[in-house]
Amino acid sequence: MQLAEKQELVRLLNLYQADLLMDNDNNIREAAKHSEKKWEGTYKIGVKAQYEHARVIAAKLSVEIGKSVKSYYEL
């Protein structure tokens, strides 16, 4: 995978994480509507797991990208 591809994937994963945070907020609001009977709400499941999975992959790619960035002395 080339550097530009890694950068684009990290960018897309960050956008995906932002979408998942919005889904989480929606889940919280839905749960508040059904405080007594939470099973009646409509939730997106697996948000936390998906968020963590995207976070781990983005972090790994960010480390790889960081290794390819040259300091002033290496130019």
pLDDT values of the chain reduced to their tens digit, one per residue, 75 residues: 899 999 999 999 999 999 999 999 999 999 999 888 878 889 999 999 999 999 999 999 999 999 988 887 777
Prediction pTM value: 0.84
SS3 69: coil
From the list 31, 25, 23, 27, the residue with the least C-alpha distance to 54 is 23
Ramachandran assignment for 37, one of left (phi > 0), alpha (psi -120 to 50 degrees), beta (any other): beta
Q: What is the dihedral of CA 44, 23, 33, 43, to 10 degrees?
A: 0
Q: How many residues does the chain have?
A: 75
